């Protein structure tokens, strides 16, 4: 259980950072934004290790070879779009979709859970229950992301004019961090 909880906290950190950035960009928040993001991220973080576990060792080399590039690309695109759009006028902002729209949530959920897929491959070689481990990882993510969205929302109201710029830069920074950790520091 301790191992699963530790994995859950570690895997949830990317999702927490994205939750804060989305809260900033989405401020003011609607009542359903925090639970929608937290539950989406929790579901992805729970399902991806199971998929990795099912794939087993045969996919380990492929997944770990590209997981950081996929996460970097997706987070860079989302963050870059947010930075670009931060310079739009109020009218254009009003026409844009929310970072809590289902399409945006699904892309962000996938981007933040690629590492969980690789962890699932590793779990296939260990003597652990994938189902309870995946449930703990998912629940941990929900518990950490829900307040992260709310924190980002509060921060977003403080830095309202440049909230989207700050959120976008956070996502790009997260993508770069993942890439550096897997390439330069590996």
Mind listing the pLDDT tens digit for each residue in 71-111? Answer: 788 778 777 877 887 777 656 555 566 888 898 899 999 98
pTM of the shown model: 0.73
Q: pLDDT at position 46, please? A: 96
Task: Give how many domains the chain has, as a whole number.
Answer: 1
| 94 three-class SS | helix
| Average pLDDT score over residue span 2-21 | 84
Neighbouring CB atoms inside 10 A of 126's CB total 10
Domain ranges, residue 89:
2-26+33-183
CA dist 42 and 21 (Å) reads 17
Tokens of 142: 């929900």
């Amino acid at each position: 259980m301790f191992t699963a909880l530790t994995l859950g906290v570690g895997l949830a950190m990317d999702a927490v950072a994205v939750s804060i950035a989305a809260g900033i960009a989405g401020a003011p928040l609607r009542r359903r934004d925090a639970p929608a993001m937290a539950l989406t991220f929790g579901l992805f973080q729970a399902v991806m290790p199971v998929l990795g576990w099912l794939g087993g060792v045969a996919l380990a080399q492929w997944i770990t070879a590209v997981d950081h590039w996929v996460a970097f690309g997706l987070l860079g695109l989302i963050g870059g779009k947010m930075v670009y759009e931060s310079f739009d006028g109020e009218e254009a902002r009003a026409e844009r979709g929310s970072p809590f729209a289902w399409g945006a949530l699904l892309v962000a959920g996938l981007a933040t859970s690629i590492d969980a897929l690789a962890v699932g491959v590793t779990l296939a070689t260990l003597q652990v229950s994938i189902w309870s481990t995946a449930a703990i990882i998912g629940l941990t993510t929900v518990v950490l992301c829900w307040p992260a969205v709310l924190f980002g929302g509060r921060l977003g109201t403080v830095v309202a004019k440049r909230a989207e710029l700050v959120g976008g830069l956070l996502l790009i920074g997260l993508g770069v961090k993942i890439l550096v950790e897997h390439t330069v520091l590996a």
